[in-house]
Structures are given as C-alpha cells and as structure tokens.
Amino acid sequence: MSLIFLMSTGTGDAPNTSRIVEPILRYLFHNISDIDIQLIHKVIRKLAHVVEYFVLGLLLFRAYRDGTQAGIKWKWVTYSILVVLLFAAADEYHQSFVITRSASISDVGLDLLGGFLAQLAILSRSRIPALIRGK
C-alpha cells in the first residue's frame, strides 16, 4: 500500500515513468515512432494499475486468511475486494491533490479489476485440485 501511495505522487507521473519506458522501447525497437511510444507507455501505465492491485488483492486475502488451512471463506474474498475498492478510491482522491496527477474513476475500475482477478486466481487455484480429485 505504501508503494501504491508513493506511485500516486509526482514520482509516478507520466513524465517520470516515460524516462524509464521510452529508452527501453527505443532500445528494443529502433524505428519506433513517438506516437507508438506514447501509446505503449499509456498501456503500461494502465496495466500497472491492474498489477499493483492484483498483488494487493493477493496480500489482503492472505492477511485475512491468517495462516489457517481452512477452505476458502467468502468473507476473506469479500473483505479483500472491499479494501481494494476503498484504497483505490482513496488513492485517486489523493491524486486529485497532486498537481502533476489527476483523479480518474476509470483508474478505480482498473484497480478493482486487479483485486477481483486476484480473488479469481485464488479461487481457481483452490478449486482445481478438488476438481481433479472429483470432488
């Protein structure tokens, strides 16, 4: 959560992340156009929302599970998704106060998608062994 909060400051704004992304893209694709770099950079930034909140969703579920070996409890899934949603909304609200950033409801949606996909991954991982055993 601290890393997500840090990236929602000026540290994670587009000019700063382009300093990393653009040289890598130019190295990998020598004839890439500026428009293609901008598009890929935007896609990477949006995918970062999904990935960050996917990891947060996994960690929240693990924290709620608290080491128990019991089967999946839906309240752990629900709480994890709820915290992801609340933190995503708070993060976007925070960005509305950062001069180099802007708040976006669609980014909250991407964040929520990441948290939801994490829960789906957990659920599918727990169901596959039972399906193989015929349960």
Tens-level pLDDT at each residue, the chain (135 residues): 999 988 888 787 787 888 999 999 999 999 999 999 999 999 999 999 999 999 999 999 999 988 777 767 889 999 999 999 999 999 999 999 988 888 899 999 999 999 999 999 998 887 655 544 545
Closest C-alpha among 62, 48, 55 to residue 117: 55
Closest C-alpha among 85, 88, 128 to residue 104: 88
Decide: 59 and 117 in contact? Cβ < 8 Å. Answer: no
Q: What is the pTM of this model?
A: 0.84
